[in-house]
Amino acid sequence: MQSLSIATTGMAAQQLNVEVISNNIANMNTTGYKRQRAEFQDLLYQDQRRVGTNSSDAGTIVPSGIQLGVGVKTAATYRINEQGALTLTENNLDVAIRGSGYFQIEMPNGETAYTRAGSFQTSQDGTIVTPDGYTVLPGITLPAATLNVTINESGQIFAQIDGQVQEQNVGQIQLATFQNPAGLENIGNNLLLETEASGAATTGVPGANGFGRLQQGFVEASNVDPVQEITNLITAQRAYELNSKVIETSDQMMSTVNNVR
């Protein structure tokens, strides 16, 4: 009886589904987080009567055949990159992206990571960095006597310096886009890495064709919808229970066979 192993694959798949949903709910307040969805595929089929074979010497063809599936498997956890709501913070170094693109972050090993979380700060020498102290590329340093910072929609950064009337342009933020953003690798800390699946990064100025614009004083909230996630959680729980019911029913059927005298 294959139903025991088939139902086992179903329970394992729904367990992973619940784990993906729980991670979404856990990150519902994480800046720049993009919710994920588990995707499933059916497993190989056992052909007990192959479709399209001859059913007689006259050349008649089996129209449908008999194929028995052996369960389900997880194919992927897909990142859904829709825009999250912009949350007002009134912090001059908080920047949200309205549209496509990622901020570029220099990792300690020299590798470039990417993020949608624009909660930036300044280091001890005035360089704009992430909360972990990683430099926001292209590496913009504010003058020591900076009183205020203005970041426009195109990513230009202007510093109001003590004793000067005219604001000073101190740098330009550039964004990166990818042919397949879902192919980026999550490494935690709101950071993503380029992979073969994502394709190479294309960089450009915010507001240019294909790139989003920046909004100073805002951060992009998670795009997790709590109501939808709770609904998905209930659906996954019911599917898990149904698969466990299949195992229980199969066990009862096998017990009945064993008790035949």
In sequence order, the β-bridge partners of residue 38 are 77
Using alpha carbons, select from 21, 7, 17, 9 the residue that is nearest to residue 73. 9
Q: Please state the pTM of the whole predicted model.
A: 0.85
Note the pLDDT of residue 1. Answer: 75
Note the pLDDT of residue 117. Answer: 95
For the stretch 196-246, pLDDT in tens is: 999 999 999 999 999 999 999 999 999 999 999 999 999 999 999 999 999
Note the pLDDT of residue 2. Answer: 85
| Domain boundaries defined on the chain | 3-81+224-258, 86-220
